Structure 1
């Protein structure tokens, strides 16, 4: 049964509302929208009539949202982004086109791992173009809302406001050390072997889920780790130990030599498994994304890639 028109939001007015909230003044918002200030004010008042509640506290001189206005604004950007994605999909379908599906991934997930994670979609839709794009974690959310990427992959289990998320794979972690490090010639190590070895990370504790995950692993092992924040961003994690030879870095590379034998990857006796989380816009549909998140229940493939089969699509990940 269709919803009554009174229960549907006008997306054009919603867009104007978002621009107004994000601008310093109503006149600045009107200029961005190529409207008169009077026309923008009228549009916002009509939106308030549509939702049935005030969105701005007009007792204040500057634009100030009511609680209801904050609630609308918090969900508006994802709704508008989903609307734009749907419109683009419809137009491309009409033209018989298939634009590249863009996978944004944080540097903590290597290009090789991304390829293995998207293999189910490649197998299912061999003619669908797919582009993998490395992105810093702080940019993933904004790029989703801007429709510049179709799905974001990162290490994490955190829910993100106004996005759908699912943890769908786990990667086995190992350590990388320089070739002459005391741990380099071990067949395997335990977490307690790292007590005297600093750990290179790419963001401080409490500013990165992945860093917090590594710190928790050490604390569960019985010690407080020494962290070194790597100032070089975007390079493979194993390269960090060349700059800090006294330290180790957590990696997902296979055991053995890397970088011409200058770096050695060593397994744990009882390895931690780092989650891979997918994030995407609500109100959107994508068979490519569904194939990636569902994965494939092939245990041999999963063991070979260091990946465990996923937990299934659309499961909401919680910290």
Structure 2
């Protein structure tokens, strides 16, 4: 049995809008036509996909599984269409790269420059995104490559490790660590650590907290209240500390000092890409940077 991509699109829209009325308006369909399409899909699958209540519509487990896979299918179809058009028109390929705030702009730039040394015709577009949006745009076929730290790939995505970057300690210029040549990890037991996501939901946060636990202490931590900024900026104007991948030395115009951390600890740089999407440019970039 083949799945009708248009019916899958209708199911996704109903789930995202929480009901048939808004979904029908979004899809420029009558509500009756949309309802008929979803009912037809349920008959084809053989099980109910949505829970219909007076307050709205929510996916049943089978429906949610189909919706997740539908996003992957639509992304692969969209990417295939763009690839065919590009090849047919002889256009220069452009690789759209997304990265989470845990990967700095400088780190992305260095990686792209490495790729350019091997691929001088490479053209890229770079976007910073939070992890959930990065995964969504990769699955939707809007991005060809994602860069992150510790982010779990989830369905439809493949992950590889591009390298390991040494962690350091960032503090405000007036902090007691600021004039030190190095800081021992155990000393952070008496500090408040700024992290970038909630434990259990952010793979990078879990990695950083686990480093502390392996050193014998449970870190006092808080989520960075200013999301989307470079990690090294998280301690500006505070007495807190942050684990960052930047080099030791002054940063943020001298308002932050990055200090060497001992013993040496590392954070992985991960690449993510859509599993079922063919992209020669992406593959060439991954080969050039060692992925």
User: What TM-score, normalized by structure 1, do the two folds share?
Assistant: 0.78
Question: What's the counterpart of residue 182 of structure 2?
Answer: 188
Query: Are residues 1:255 and 2:252 paired?
Result: no
Matched, 1:274 2:272: no
Is 42-51 or 187-196 further displaced after alignment?
42-51
Q: Say if 2:215 is the partner of 1:221.
A: yes
Q: Distance in 2 between matches of 1:93 and 1:68?
A: 37
Mapping of 1:162-177 within 5 angstroms? Answer: 162-177=156-171
Residues in 2 aligned to 1:96 and 1:165: alpha-carbon distance in whole angstroms: 30
Is this contact kept in 1: 2:192–2:221, CA < 8 A?
yes
- Work out whether residues 18 and 58 of structure 2, in 8 Å CA contact, stay in contact via their aligned partners in 1: no
Residue 17 of structure 1 corresponds to 11
Gapped regions of structure 1 (runs ≥ 5): 1-6, 298-309, 311-319
Could you tell me how far apart the structure 1 residues matched to 2:58 and 2:170 are? 51
Take 2:63 and 2:229, find their aligned partners in 1: how far apart are those partners? 42
1:293 to 261, 267, 286: 286
Tell me whether 29-38 or 272-281 shows the greater mean CA deviation: 29-38
Contact 2:75–2:142, Cα closer than 8 Å, also in 1: no
Distance 1:206 1:31, change over 3 A: same
Q: Residues 153-207 of structure 1, C-alpha deviation per residue, up to 9 Å, x if partnerless? A: 2111523233333333221111122344332333322211222222222334334
Calculate the aligned-residue CA RMSD, in Å: 2.8
The Cα of 1:260 is off from its aligned counterpart by: 4.6
Taking structure 2 as the reference length, the TM-score comes to: 0.85
Matches of 2:58 and 2:176, distance apart in 1? 59
Aligned residue pair count: 290
Structure 2 CA distance, aligned partners of 1:211 and 1:50?
42
Unmatched segments (≥5 aa) in structure 2 = none
1:214 deviates by 1.4
- Change in Cα spacing, 1:55 to 1:289, as seen in structure 2 (3 Å) is farther
- Give the 3 Å change call, closer, same or farther, for CA 292–260 of structure 1 in structure 2: same
Identify if the C-alpha distance between structure 1 residues 196 and 49 changes in structure 2 by more than 3 Å, giving closer, same or farther: closer
| 1:282 Cα deviation from its structure 2 partner | 3.1
Distance in 2 of aligned mates of 1:193 and 1:63: 51
Deviation at 1:72, TM superposition (A): 1.9
Q: Distance in 1 between matches of 2:112 and 2:20?
A: 44
**1:232 matches 2:226:** yes
Matched residue SS, 1:22: helix
Q: Which residue of 1 aligns with 2:34?
A: 40
Distance in structure 1 (CA, Å) of the matches to 2:245 and 2:67? 39
Contact 2:193–2:219 at 8 Å: present in 1 too?
yes
State how far apart, in whole Å, the 2-side matches of 1:106 and 1:70 are: 26
Q: Which residue of 2 aligns with 1:149?
A: 143
Q: Distance in 1 between matches of 2:23 and 2:256?
A: 54
Using the TM superposition, name which of 82-91 and 175-184 deviates more: 175-184
Q: In the alignment, is residue 117 of structure 1 matched against residue 111 of structure 2? A: yes
C-alpha change, 1:228 and 1:122, in structure 2 (3 Å) is same
Q: In structure 2, what is the Cα distance between the partners aligned to 1:114 and 1:102? A: 12
Q: CA deviation at 1:140?
A: 1.4
Distance 1:16 1:213 in 2: 39
